[in-house]
Structure 1
């Protein structure tokens, strides 16, 4: 048997033994042994295989599978530029602590640097962004193949006190790549997994309830989000939860939190209990940078968030004595008034706006489905959406807050979770990752509704400094960047059902059952977006 095929089999069987159940594969020659073993694993029911032709979308598909799955997901590519195309997904996984296993085929190390075809210095390509990297050589002792794969899977999950995140196995395969007799069947018995003790549960730190405290929940997993909501409700504290925090539900959640932070009520905050990774708004960033506020970060990660450099306590868990009841009541009363102002302001526009579309989309998601939000304005618009009573599972790529791989991630989330999903994205995010719709006829397909907020460009830039009239001459070309492309036509080119929805028909379209993969395009006018945001931020007193 080819040593390369035996090496590939050892690596993948060990990953399966460690709990990997989702494999994403991109075609290639040097990766042929890995591809054949992956297909054998899929046929045997040991894994579910997803084949894609674009490594960038494949990386984000694996990211989504790992986010919503029960363990790490792996993505397999050939050598050369194929590996470099995984970089955006690896960086997002690094910053959002997602257990992504990158398996890249390579030529033997002796050929690197000598002009061999499709060969470059790829073994250390992700240095600084992976929890572990290894050069797995088919010429090395066979025992090392499984040991390296086992170590990678364990460290990807954050065992032994580390943080979860991506790992990289660069598999150096010599010729012959495959046995002349053809591929073998998947082994009947798997190797023994590498077992590590689970993380110990630390005793929570007890905090007094006297300082005026809020619970701030940024982008977080469902378990972290549930903990944030539970703490807020058990201690009677206002809950300031971002849309992807998995905490934005229940009676303590403050819908207009980011708008209230600029008021006297926000100025009265004395302590913030931070869960997850808050990244969404400047008012939140300003709060976390205030030297007069006690910042307590509730996290068991070494890369805990502290963007304002003010954290004074970091603990895996905390308990808080109940605070004054009037503190929560004041936030709830102010929130009710601000909600009325938001509703009235949006109604004055006369046409459908981004915040109104986000509110309708969030409300439409079935309780057993996923909500996925693209970066830029869609997730910020959802930050003003009505609070749901149920704990809707919500996701976004907020590790680096890019629009890269939005559709691919959403597909992975739905497939791994076994749930339908609704993705709200802008037209630029849709165009950027439209290649994710290239799904082969034999591949698993999600139940996913993609709602495209089509405002013909990047409306978020109109709300920033360079949206001012002084920059008008440059704005459209270098910031808004309208492409002139029609999302309906783009989706149709991939054979995905798509249609443009008029505002009058939106309620019916969103209420329809989610069936297969579909695209709904809703036109928006971004002309007055900066003025709208300013009026929402100003509040009712400014009229």
Structure 2
């Protein structure tokens, strides 16, 4: 057996031993030994193999799988192929998602030379993701392959030096392997800090905060300000319009905030957390940079906070009453609009997620629109809403959504919500070969022909109107139906809420795109009217 074949089989055995059940492979020559070994392991039932023609799409597919509870690895060849993994690797590192990255490399003797497709792949992802550089003579068996110090919630980069010959002499029939556990959510642990009652407190649940944030809010009787992808946006204490309420005098009365997960959606939330007169209790977040960008008064790193009882119910009820009032006026405002709005699209998608369902939401406006329109989900219905909020980029969302749907096989229904620029940025995620596993997934694309989020920011002000479209609005004029036709992806176009609801009620199976056409010209004005609702009257 050649050294490269032996090393590749040892590496794949190590993957299985450490809980990897899904492998996404991008084709190449240098990674051929790994490709053959993964194929043989899949044939033996030890893992499931997926192939993608583009490394960036492959990495985001693996990221999506891992985010929903599977554990996945992405495999690629050397050179620029490795660089195309970088966006997904950074997202995983900052979100604390334990993606496994397996890169093929030339042997060490060719480094520093002009050998074809040879660059410095050791440390290629920077100091945030250490490289474990493997050579045939330094990794004699599976136990030596996997770094003993690897954090189970961190990205693992294995760089595998492979020398000729790259094709095995025989087929590998791996024996039964000890399969390790897949990814589990980092537990909050037991109650380690008892928070005194009295200070007017709210619980902020950012991305991946998990159910304990909701449990704390309910036990203490505190308002819950939970982002859609927090895993906490269920039950009786989650406020729909918290973002709008934080601009009212009610927010000025907050004296303490318990913050969990990674809150990034809302400027009002960030302003609340940065206030000098507010005590911040930090439950912690995963990722390579867990430190908060604001002062923290109390940390609960070793466990989770609790209380000795429930606080004054009047505090919660004031928030609830204000939330009900603003919610009614928001619904009335949107219903009076003559054309379909992005908020209505987000609300319809949220309502379409059944118990046991999955929703993958893209960055920019869609996740913020969803934040105001999430349907009231009951505790225990096991709906999962996920998003790439580690770095909150728009890239890789189509592939991530497909990966999420593939990685959660028990999902009753899978949907994704994203903007048109996000969709275009990863439209090659729809390129799947005829033998590839395909999930049932509806991709709802809110198409306003450009980057409407900038219209709601400083760049969208009247002082910059002369250059806004060229620099920020970036209209593209792409025919999404024709683009979908190129990959034989079924496509619906809808222009009204009833049409959208009909499309959502009639999924065809497989991957399909529902294009919801909305306007962009009035986005800034309509956004200002929405934000003003909480301060009216």
TM over 0.5: yes
Cα shift at 1:204: 2.0
SS of 1:330's partner is helix
The answer as to 2:177 corresponding to 1:190 is: yes
Cα separation, 2, equivalents of 1:231 and 1:203: 10
Q: 1:149 matched to which residue of 2?
A: 146
Q: 1:136 matched to which residue of 2?
A: 134
Cα shift at 1:306: 1.6
Cα separation, 1, equivalents of 2:111 and 2:454: 44
Q: 1:335 matched to which residue of 2?
A: 323
Cα separation, 2, equivalents of 1:156 and 1:268: 40
Residue in structure 2 matching 1:170, options 153, 159, 164: 159
Q: 2:521 matched to which residue of 1?
A: 527
Cα shift at 1:79: 0.1
Matched ranges for 1:280-319 at <5 A: 280-299=265-284, 301=286, 303-315=289-301, 316-319=303-306
Residue in structure 1 matching 2:393, options 363, 388, 402: 402
Q: 1:63 matched to which residue of 2?
A: 63
Relative to structure 1, is the Cα distance of residues 156 and 12 closer, same or farther in structure 2, using a 3 angstrom cutoff?
A: farther
The answer as to 2:219 corresponding to 1:234 is: yes
Q: 2:491 matched to which residue of 1?
A: 498
Cα shift at 1:191: 6.9
Cα shift at 1:386: 4.2
Cα separation, 2, equivalents of 1:409 and 1:514: 21
**For the Cα contact (< 8 Å) 2:112–2:119, is it kept in 1?**
yes
Cα shift at 1:388: 1.7
Cα separation, 1, equivalents of 2:102 and 2:448: 39
Matched ranges for 1:254-273 at <5 A: 254-273=239-258
Q: 2:89 matched to which residue of 1?
A: 90
Q: 1:160 matched to which residue of 2?
A: none
Q: TM-score, normalised by structure 1?
A: 0.93
Cα separation, 2, equivalents of 1:365 and 1:109: 51
User: How much is the aligned-residue C-alpha RMSD, in angstroms?
Assistant: 2.0
Aligned residues: 525
**For the Cα contact (< 8 Å) 1:453–1:524, is it kept in 2?**
yes
The answer as to 2:37 corresponding to 1:37 is: yes
Q: Deviations over 1:388-408 (max 9, x none)?
A: 232521000000010010011
**For the Cα contact (< 8 Å) 2:220–2:310, is it kept in 1?**
yes
Cα separation, 2, equivalents of 1:204 and 1:443: 47
The answer as to 2:258 corresponding to 1:277 is: no
Cα separation, 1, equivalents of 2:362 and 2:489: 20
Cα separation, 1, equivalents of 2:513 and 2:376: 24
Residue in structure 2 matching 1:348, options 330, 333, 336: 336
- Say which is worse superposed, 498-507 or 440-449, in terms of deviation: 498-507
**For the Cα contact (< 8 Å) 1:248–1:387, is it kept in 2?**
no
Cα shift at 1:99: 0.5
SS of 2:204's partner is strand
Q: Deviations over 1:1-33 (max 9, x none)?
A: 110000000011111012110101010000000
Cα separation, 1, equivalents of 2:483 and 2:158: 35
Q: 1:161 matched to which residue of 2?
A: none
Cα separation, 1, equivalents of 2:448 and 2:133: 46
Q: Deviations over 1:471-491 (max 9, x none)?
A: 111111110111111222211
SS of 1:142's partner is coil
Relative to structure 1, is the Cα distance of residues 528 and 101 closer, same or farther in structure 2, using a 3 angstrom cutoff?
A: same
SS of 1:496's partner is coil
Cα separation, 2, equivalents of 1:305 and 1:324: 31
Cα separation, 1, equivalents of 2:78 and 2:122: 10
Residue in structure 2 matching 1:469, options 462, 465, 473: 462
- Say which is worse superposed, 42-51 or 309-318, in terms of deviation: 309-318
**For the Cα contact (< 8 Å) 1:136–1:169, is it kept in 2?**
yes
Cα separation, 2, equivalents of 1:507 and 1:228: 32
Q: 2:417 matched to which residue of 1?
A: 424
**For the Cα contact (< 8 Å) 1:251–1:389, is it kept in 2?**
no
SS of 2:131's partner is strand
Cα separation, 1, equivalents of 2:353 and 2:133: 44
Cα shift at 1:209: 1.3
Q: TM-score, normalised by structure 2?
A: 0.94
SS of 1:449's partner is strand
- Say which is worse superposed, 371-380 or 198-207, in terms of deviation: 198-207
Q: 1:508 matched to which residue of 2?
A: 502
Q: 2:20 matched to which residue of 1?
A: 20
Q: Deviations over 1:232-251 (max 9, x none)?
A: 11221111111111111211
**For the Cα contact (< 8 Å) 2:420–2:449, is it kept in 1?**
yes
Cα shift at 1:313: 2.5
SS of 1:536's partner is helix
